[in-house]
Every structure is written in structure tokens, then in C-alpha cells.
Amino acid sequence: MDGSAQGVQIGAMLMAIRLRGMDLEETVALTQALAKSGEQLEWPEAWRQQLVDKHSTGGVGDKVSLVLAPALAACGCKQVPMISGRGLGHTGGTLDKLESIPGFTVIQSPEQMQSLLEQVGCCIVGQSKKLVPADGILYEARDVTATVDSLPLITGSSGLSFTTSPSACPTASILSKKVVESLSALLVDVKFGAAALLPSQAEARELAGALVGVGAGLGLQVAAALTAMDNPLGRSVGHTLEVEEALLCMDGAGPPDLRDLVTRLGGTLLWLSRQAEDPAEGAARVAATLDDGSARDRFERMLATQGVDPWLARALCSGTPAQRRQLLPRAREQEELLAPADGTVELIRALPLARVLHELGAGRSRAGEPLRPAVGAELLVGVGQKLRRGTPWLRVHLDAPALSGPQRRALQGALVLSDRAPFTAPSPFAELILPPTDTQQ
């Protein structure tokens, strides 16, 4: 961190790691070195068993963190400052979604983070330059190493893509930020599928195994959930629309796939941190916070303590869906697409949907680019549902006068219909990779 390493040396190191790989011991050493490059977060001893966190490799419509953090706080956890990221490419960033709420502030000092945890039980913040600064330096070297678009391309908790070798440096990038948080349990949501950074479940399992194994080597209790990302998660994609849907989930309503993932991930974290007898009991506790309004109450307190006007925080959390929409940024235009034929919705491809929204301003290609927070899309149908020709299936929120012809065709191509009978869509939760038995309860 003294500046003596030249850019070409860093680039050569990254390329060497990418080509030759790293074993478990080397990956643990790299992770420790990254973690020690900056400040270590410290918490009261009484919180030791309550400190949990969740990290996602990124997906389309993934607003789980917005719901899970306050739900876990309502269960008695200290959701350690969820050091979240901004969107880059076709995946959305948690910080960008929260910043679509006027006044929300993501930059917090360690002292402010502790105060937030004491008052609310959770906070969602951006990565400070004082936390794991060496990882930021490695990230900046991605262009000269030509590794940004290489598989396995994984999103670190800064929300920025970073790759070197299979599993090694993504693992170090993710876990180094978690080491400094002094956690009792971490759950990583490793997404796979056509709209994920890892296309196959086998590749996701490989990364998950590396995360769990290196975590054990660092003394961290890490588990990994493999979750599908072919369809968007939930029914809304886009920053303000996803905030609205997260609030709907905290009303005890909303899309079943979102609720299922929130309760399963939260239940697993409660079990790993010994606050539930098993994941099912933990899931039931998380579900109760959604149904009784206690998660939504924590969310309101988090907004108010992170810069949102208390009146606005209250109005958002107590209002109807229609009232909430009036309080958040709104796009200038809306355009609905109609089903081209009769059929059952087999799949709604998340990737072409996300790419069009990216073109419309909902995403960024490089860090620091401005966003249009109100741009997004609402799915008016769900997978497994019967659809009639001419029925609206998608509503696009845009600031442009209208969709272009290619954009309209790309979106229509995202809808896949079949002639089979209506069916219940499967859960996106596919598999759970647990830590070694000697690090569990």
C-alpha cells in the first residue's frame, strides 16, 4: 500500500494468477493480505453471535438485501454493515436502488455504522476507501489485464466485477471484505443461469466450494446458496420499482419467489449463527417479520437514520403501493407489450430484458456513470401462467419517447411460451453448500 508496486507488476501478477491458478493455501494468504491492507471493523463482544451478513454475486431484479437486512434485524441479529455494491453491466446494485430514495446516504464511518447497528440492527453502506483498499487497487488493474470479461467473472461486495483465476481471486475479493467485518456467519448467494455471471450450476458449485473452503481456512463460517437466474427475480426490474417491490414483500405480500428466497437465506443465516434450531425454523421466523410488519418497521428506521427525511421514510413504509409510487422518482413514459400468441409462460429471459433496460439508462457500463433510477420494467405475468394473445405481459418505464424497434423485438424475444398446462414456478433456490462440520454448531 506504499505505492511501490507498479501497474505493470500488478497486471503481470493478475495475469499469472489467472493462467496458473491458486491453491487453497495461496488463496487464504491473498485474502488475509487484502483484509489487512486497511481498517478492521470492531464490535462489542456482546454482539459476537449476532453478527451475520449475506453477499450476492448479482442478478436481474435481485432486491433480496433490501428485505433481508431489516428482517434479520427484526429477528435479533446485528446485520453487520452490509457493504454492498453498485451495478455494473446488466446487474443492478443495491446501493443504486437505495439511492433512488431521496436523501439516502451510503457513506458511513465505522463509528456511524456501530451507531446504526445499535439503533436499528442493520445498515447498508458502500465500501470505504479505508476498508480493504488493496482490493480496490487490484480492481483498477482489470482493464490492463484483460480479465474483466473472463470466466469466472464474479462480483465482489464492492459491486464491481473482478476476475483472475478460477475461483481464487474472486474468492479473495469477496471474502477479504467479510474478514474485516468480524462476522459470526456469512451466506453467499451464488447465482447461475443465462443472466448470471456463472452460466451453469456446476460452475456455481465450484465457486461456492472455494468460498466455503477458504472461509473455513480464515476461521469464518461461510455457507453458499446456489440460486437460479434465468428469469428475473420477482416481478420488477429497475431501481425505484425494486424498492417498491421490496416494500411489498415487507407488507407480507409480493412475488412468491422473492419471499421464498428471502426466508430461505435468512433462515439459513439464523441457523448458522445458532439463533435457530434448523433452517426451517429460521425461515419461519423471517417470514413472521414480513407478515407482522416488524421488518418494514426496521427498514423505516434504517432509512431515517441513513439520511432519508423521517416523514418520507414513514410515508413510504406506511403507504399503499399507489402512494409509494408518487413518492419516488417516476419515468416520463410507460409502454406495454402484448403477448404475440396464446400459451403458457415457460420462461421470461432475464438477460435481454436487462440489456434493454441498460440501454434505456437503468444500468452503467463503467463505474461512475449516471443512472436513470425510474427506468425499469414490470412483469405483468408470471412463469407458469396461461396467457392469451393480445394480453399485456410487460410494462416498460422509460424516459425516452418510445422503445426503438430493436428494443421492442428484443423484449418480445424474452417471452417464451409453450403449449403445456399452467404450472407452479419452481423456487430459484437450488442447493446449499455448508461449511465443514467442525466449523458448524
Residues 6 or more apart whose Cβ sits within 8 Å of residue 441: 271, 274
Cβ-based neighbour number of residue 219 at 10 Å? 8
Rounded (to 5) percent helix, strand, coil in the chain: 45, 15, 40
Point out the catalytic residue in the list 31, 94, 163, 165.
Answer: 94
Catalytic annotation, pick one of 57, 163, 173, 263: 173
| Catalytic, out of 27, 31, 55, 257 | 55
Q: Which three cell numbers stand for residue 437?
A: 462440520
Catalytic residue, from 18, 27, 37, 53: name it.
53
Does residue 191 have an active-site annotation?
no
Q: Is 56 a catalytic residue?
A: yes
**63, 90, 142, 349: which one is catalytic?**
142
Catalytic residue, candidates 56, 171, 236, 344: 56
4 is catalytic: no
Q: Active-site residue among 27, 31, 54, 163?
A: 54
CB 89 within 8 A of CB 70: no
Q: Which of 18, 97, 178, 358 is catalytic?
A: 178
**Is 173 annotated as catalytic?**
yes
Q: Are 176 and 39 in contact (CB under 8 A)?
A: no
The residue from 18, 86, 177, 205 that is catalytic is: 177
177 given a catalytic annotation: yes
What letter does residue 360 receive in the DSSP assignment? I
- Reply yes or no on whether 55 is catalytic: yes
Q: Which residues of 249-272 are buried (b: 16+ CB within 10 A; e: fewer)?
A: bbbbebbebbbbbbbbbbbbbbbb
* Structure letter (DSSP) for residue 48: G
HEC sequence for 83-141: ECCCCECCECCHHHHHHCCCCCCCCCCHHHHHHHHHHCCEEEECCCCCCCHHHHHHHHC
Catalytic site positions: 53-56, 94, 142, 173, 177-178
